[in-house]
Amino acid sequence: MTLILILAVAIAVILLAERSVEHLWLAIAGLCFGAALLLFVVDDVRRAILLSSVLAAAVLGASIVKYNHSGLKLIVTDLPLAFAGTVPFFVVQYPLAVMAVVTGSIVLAGAVIATVIWVQGTPIPLGWQTIIFGAALIGLIAAYRASGGAAFLQRSVAQRRCFLSTFIASLLDPRSWRQFGGLTLSDIATDTLPLMPAVPARILDYPDIIVIQHESIFDPRVYGLPVEPVVEGFLSPKHGSYGSLNVDIFGGGSWQSEFSLLTGLSSASFGSNAYYLFKRGVGRFHHSLPGWLAAQGYRTTLASSCRRNFLNYDAFYRAIGIGERVFSDDFPVPFDVGRFEATHSDAQFLEAAIGAHVRRIAEDPAPRFLYALTNFNHGPHTRRLVAPGRHESERAFAAASLPDACYAEYYARLAETAATWDRLKTELAARFPDRPMLIVHYGDHQPVMTRRIEAKRKLPIDPRRQFRTFYAIEALNGAADRLVAGRGRALDIAFLGTVALQQAGLPLDEVFATRASLLDQCGEAYFASSSERKRRFHRTLVERGVIDVAPATQS
């Protein structure tokens, strides 16, 4: 009777974890292998099965928490992130989720203790334990191969099912383990791809290029919610090019979007190292958007809403060709970094960033590249950051569209950003009527708050929806005639820098030209694309030393 109850618990855990029959055998094989491994410790089948079920439940719980806050399920390469600053950040940003994790951990620890103390079974001799382990291992490998192996892992990581089988697949994927030892691309072929010929410039007067990454901003229309004219003009400028943008992240990790935009690569290609790229990637990427622009005579500047000591930003941006790096603690008065950090208001930051850009134009007439990183709309959206009395009508409009205080706060912040940008754009055009400018702005990822929207609107499941933000490209002064206006194609963020160069009429070298040739095959989803040309392109970049994946040398 006890064994029947234990098996019932194991079946219940698997069904809760999988929510699908597609890869059920892999989940079952994984749980059985865990039991066979634990059999060497507890020496009886009942406790081994029950402890394996508890372990599977722990994986399920952790995976659900990660999925709810990142849009991706738990895989083995996530484990080092607990030691990379993720836990303190998570505690500050999501205290309720942390309380749930702590409570669940206590319950599971109690289940382990109770199992060890009170559950008894017939001891299994060591010889039989070894035979059972061998059979379980063979079954696990067979189930992994039948599931599709690494291909299944790549497809399933963003799906709201197969939580246990996905984690097990990551344990068995050799590329997952290589990620711990160095910088490795997961989507790379054996053969190289000949690079396309360089494309000459279409213009003589190079425009200034301003790229603005808008923290946690997405288009509410992705969730069927209306927007007002000012917000619509920001997301879909009437005389600009705009569209849906696919990114690699959800809820956080903005630097991964920054990396993809600037290098033309997907951060997801580097597995667990995606989180560490700003540290481990310094000096490893020898082709970038700012580096190419600097070679064309541009002065390149970063304006960040973070302080200089944030996440190795200064070293990484210097290494990829940003000549000047200005952080929130560098802006001169009247900018007050202490007052700014109370809200991270875009009205304050964008004014300071564009003001610094304007001053540098006066000092040096060379074309300029400005990359501005905002932080205003980062969660949680339970805090009211928009000043009292401002954008109240927009807040009411959002609340009428969706009765949710978090969404109303998000929309009010979005309205402030849109109004600020509309004003600054007008000032730039008036101040420099003879200086062409191309402005690219985009959302780096969706905030966790969109989970609430999805649930309240009872939308059909779409694993890719949570990774859609927006991009908009606008032109000022003489650059307006060069821009192809209107709704553009859906883009992956890895292509946005290349498209910006095309819209600006600037030259493309062999790397940019080859990347542009991949647009038709994988323009909407770069990492998720199975394109063999993309994989061969990556091999070419490695072989030519454009991407340095060699093991780090010890000094």
Q: Which of 42-51, 119-128, 349-358, 380-389 has the highest mean pLDDT?
A: 349-358
Taking the alpha carbons at both ends of the chain, their separation in whole angstroms is: 62
Q: What is the pLDDT of residue 328?
A: 95
Superfamily name with CATH number, domain 208-436+447-503: Alkaline Phosphatase, subunit A (3.40.720.10)
Token pair recorded at residue 427: 């000032």
Digit-coded pLDDT (tens) for 253-290: 899 999 999 999 999 898 778 878 998 899 999 999 99
Q: Which residue has the higher pLDDT, 117 or 216?
A: 216
User: Hey, CA dihedral for 225, 229, 232, 236, is it positive or negative?
Assistant: positive
pLDDT at residue 512 greater than cutoff 90 = yes
Percentage of the chain exceeding pLDDT 70: 93
Over range 470-477, report the average pLDDT: 94
pLDDT band at 177 (very low <50, low <70, confident <90, very high): low
Q: Measure CA 358 to chain center.
A: 31
Q: What is the pLDDT of residue 222?
A: 95
Q: What is the pLDDT of residue 151?
A: 73
Half-sphere exposure of 278 (CA within 13 A, CB side): 19
Q: Which residue has the higher pLDDT, 40 or 74?
A: 40
Q: What is the pLDDT of residue 75?
A: 80
Average pLDDT score, the chain: 90
Over range 470-478, report the average pLDDT: 92
User: What is the Cα–Cα distance from 301 to 304, expressed in whole angstroms?
Assistant: 10
Q: What is the pLDDT of residue 86?
A: 55
Over range 176-193, report the average pLDDT: 78
Residue 516, CA distances (Å) to 20, 196, 507, 512, 541 in order: 38, 9, 12, 6, 15
User: What is the Cα–Cα distance from 467 to 339, expressed in whole angstroms?
Assistant: 32
Residue 53, CA distances (Å) to 33, 42, 60 in order: 11, 14, 10
**Residue 419 DSSP label:** H
My answer on whether omega of the bond before 380 falls inside 30° of 0, hence cis, is: yes
Q: What is the pLDDT of residue 554?
A: 45
Rg (CA), the chain: 26
Q: Poorest-confidence range of 107-121, 186-200, 387-401, 512-526?
A: 107-121
Over range 210-237, report the average pLDDT: 97
CB 179 within 8 A of CB 271: yes
DSSP β-ladder status, 208-214 and 468-476: unpaired
Q: What is the pLDDT of residue 74?
A: 83
My answer on whether omega of the bond before 290 falls inside 30° of 0, hence cis, is: no
Residues in the chain: 555
User: What is the Cα–Cα distance from 305 to 296, expressed in whole angstroms?
Assistant: 27
Residue of 539, 498, 461, 541 whose CA lies nearest to 260 = 498
Q: Which residue has the higher pLDDT, 499 or 19?
A: 499
Q: What is the pLDDT of residue 80?
A: 62
pLDDT band at 555 (very low <50, low <70, confident <90, very high): very low
pLDDT band at 87 (very low <50, low <70, confident <90, very high): low
pLDDT at residue 340 greater than cutoff 60 = yes
pLDDT band at 500 (very low <50, low <70, confident <90, very high): very high
Sorted by where each begins, the domain ranges of the chain are: 2-181, 208-436+447-503
Question: 315 - beta bridge partners?
Answer: none
CB 299 within 8 A of CB 210: no
CB 235 within 8 A of CB 227: yes
Q: What is the pLDDT of residue 3?
A: 80
Digit-coded pLDDT (tens) for 409-444: 999 999 999 999 999 999 999 999 989 999 999 999
